[in-house]
């Protein structure tokens, strides 16, 4: 370009040579040049530009081959150095970016390529700026765009990822099962504790209830014994004798209804003898009266423990008494005044039972 008046656009730097040597850099705006002597040799853009870095192969530290490409962002800081320091600055920066990227990838394994992508970009930018300092170009940033792996490596990585995810899933599932088992065990433990406590309270309450029932039964039995003892004093003995005789006869009547073989007294067919025998048993159980005991004690006779009646003597005495009662029943003596006030208590009881039967 060889004219006298020049208008330089904004964000551009025009380098002027005078008679083949560098003269000056034209600033944006109006500029005057000497025709034929001054000539614009280079035009440098001061804007930030993006350069596409072609795809290239590289080998990682663990000997895995891959293909990688990227984008480089740079800016001309010194138009003079960018024009006279290197023949083709964009080509030079592109080649420098490729070699630097290949060198940095060889320092790290494949897993770190994906994990340390940002740090890899920073390392490439620092290496380019250090090498291109004399070119007047400033590398702003570098971005790795695409990483391509061999198909077998991709499949292996996919299997590794699947295995890792399965492992994590199995761990999570086992932890869930463990937590569930712990919760179930804790629940069963708590349930058993509560059940045992409830059973303990139930047993305590049941024991207290049984104790109270036994106490009340004992009180009732003691009261009944006292009532029976009070009723046996005086005229109540005849009523007790009548009751015992009735129960004795009723018991034999019930036994006669059963088909089982039983043992009965020899005179079981004689109702009066049975009643007399029941009265004899009652008299025997009742024991001697207090006057008899006092008489025996005053006369020095042996105690009741020494004079216990032999069972054979008891049944003989009962049979003799039964015979006497039967004779008395068969041939009763008629009172002279026509009343029954002179009859013995046993005779009255026997007559009442026979009349009921």
Look up residue 194 and give its two tokens: 């509560």
Same domain, 200 and 95: no
Closest among 243, 285, 250, 266 to 323, alpha carbons compared: 266
User: Is 280 within the bounds of a domain?
Assistant: yes
pLDDT of residue 267: 57
pLDDT of 122 over the 60 cut? yes
Same domain, 201 and 240: no
User: Is 115 within the bounds of a domain?
Assistant: yes
DSSP state of 136: T
Give the H or E element holding residue 26.
strand 21-26
pLDDT tens-digit profile of 132-154? 888 888 888 888 888 888 888 88
pLDDT of 37 over the 60 cut? yes
User: Is 350 within the bounds of a domain?
Assistant: yes
pLDDT of residue 167: 92
What is the DSSP secondary-structure string of 61-118?
Answer: TTS-EEEEEEEEEEEES-HHHHHHT-S-HHHHHHHHHHHHHHHHHTTS-HHHHHHTHH
Same domain, 122 and 177: no
Look up residue 17 and give its two tokens: 């040579």
The gap from C-alpha 141 to its chain's centroid, in whole angstroms, comes to 58
Calculate Rg over the CA atoms of the chain.
Answer: 67
Same domain, 95 and 171: no
Same domain, 178 and 305: no
Look up residue 338 and give its two tokens: 């026509």
pLDDT tens-digit profile of 220-249? 888 887 877 776 665 566 666 666 667 767
Which of 182, 200, 233 is where one domain is finished? 233
| Residue 114 belongs to domain spanning | 5-150
pTM > 0.75? no
User: Is 144 within the bounds of a domain?
Assistant: yes
Task: Name the domain count of the chain.
Answer: 3
Contact 53, 108 (CB under 8 A): no
Which of the residue ranges 89-93, 118-122, 204-208, 338-342 has the most confident prediction, judged by mean pLDDT? 204-208
Mean pLDDT of the chain, nearest integer: 75
pLDDT tens-digit profile of 160-178? 889 999 999 999 999 999 9
pLDDT of residue 322: 42
- Better pLDDT: 227 or 260: 227
User: Is 76 within the bounds of a domain?
Assistant: yes
Same domain, 227 and 98: no
User: Is 337 within the bounds of a domain?
Assistant: no
Same domain, 271 and 229: no
Contact 48, 42 (CB under 8 A): no
Which own/partner pairs from 152-158 qualify as long-range (CB within 8 Å, at least 24 positions apart)? 153/64, 153/66, 153/110
How much of the chain exceeds pLDDT 90, in percent? 16
- Give the C-alpha separation, 229 to 224, whole Å: 8
Same domain, 249 and 196: no
Look up residue 345 and give its two tokens: 């208590």
Which of 150, 182, 198 is where one domain is finished? 150
User: Is 184 within the bounds of a domain?
Assistant: yes
Q: Measure the CA angle with vertex 224, ends 223 and 226; round to 5°.
A: 65
- Tokens 């303990």 correspond to what residue? 200
User: Is 125 within the bounds of a domain?
Assistant: yes
Which of 199, 218, 233 is where one domain is finished? 233
CA distances from 38 to 12, 20, 27, 127 (A): 18, 8, 15, 38
Same domain, 17 and 144: yes
- Give the C-alpha separation, 38 to 56, whole Å: 44
Same domain, 213 and 241: no
pLDDT of residue 316: 44
Contact 323, 315 (CB under 8 A): no
Same domain, 145 and 179: no
Which of the residue ranges 49-53, 185-189, 308-312 has the most confident prediction, judged by mean pLDDT? 185-189
The gap from C-alpha 51 to its chain's centroid, in whole angstroms, comes to 65
Same domain, 137 and 260: no
- Write the CATH number for 128: 3.30.479.30
């Amino acid at each position: 370009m060889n004219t006298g008046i020049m208008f330089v656009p904004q964000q551009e730097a025009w380098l002027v040579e005078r008679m083949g040597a560098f003269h000056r850099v034209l600033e944006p705006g109006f500029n005057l040049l000497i025709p034929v002597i001054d000539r614009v040799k280079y035009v440098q853009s001061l804007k930030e530009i993006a350069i596409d870095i072609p795809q290239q192969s590289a080998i990682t530290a663990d000997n895995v081959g891959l293909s990688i490409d990227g984008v480089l962002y740079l800016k001309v800081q010194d138009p003079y150095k960018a024009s006279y320091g290197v023949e083709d600055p964009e080509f030079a920066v592109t080649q420098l970016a490729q070699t630097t990227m290949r060198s940095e990838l060889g320092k790290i394994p494949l897993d770190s390529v994906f994990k340390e992508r940002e740090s890899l970009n920073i390392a490439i930018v620092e290496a380019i700026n250090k090498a291109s300092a004399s070119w007047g170009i400033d590398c702003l940033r570098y971005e790795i765009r695409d990483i391509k792996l061999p198909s077998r490596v991709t499949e292996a990585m996919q299997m590794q990822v699947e295995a890792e995810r399965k492992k994590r899933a199995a761990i999570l599932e086992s932890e869930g099962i463990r937590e569930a088992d712990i919760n179930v065990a804790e629940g069963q433990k708590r349930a058993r504790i509560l059940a045992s406590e409830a059973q303990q309270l139930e047993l305590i309450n049941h024991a207290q209830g049984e104790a109270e029932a036994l106490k009340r039964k004992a009180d009732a039995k003691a009261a009944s014994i006292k009532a029976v003892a009070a009723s046996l004093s005086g005229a109540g003995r005849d009523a007790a004798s009548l009751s015992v005789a009735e129960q004795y006869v009723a018991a034999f009547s019930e036994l006669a209804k059963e088909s089982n073989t039983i043992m009965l007294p020899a005179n079981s067919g004689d109702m009066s003898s049975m009643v007399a025998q029941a009265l004899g048993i009652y008299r025997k159980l009742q024991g001697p009266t207090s006057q008899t005991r006092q008489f025996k004690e005053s006369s020095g006779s042996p105690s009741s423990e020494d004079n216990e009646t032999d069972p054979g003597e008891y049944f003989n005495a009962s049979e003799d008494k039964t015979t006497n009662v039967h004779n008395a029943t068969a041939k009763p003596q008629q009172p002279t005044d026509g009343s029954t006030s002179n009859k013995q208590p046993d005779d009255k009881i026997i007559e009442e039972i026979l009349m009921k039967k």
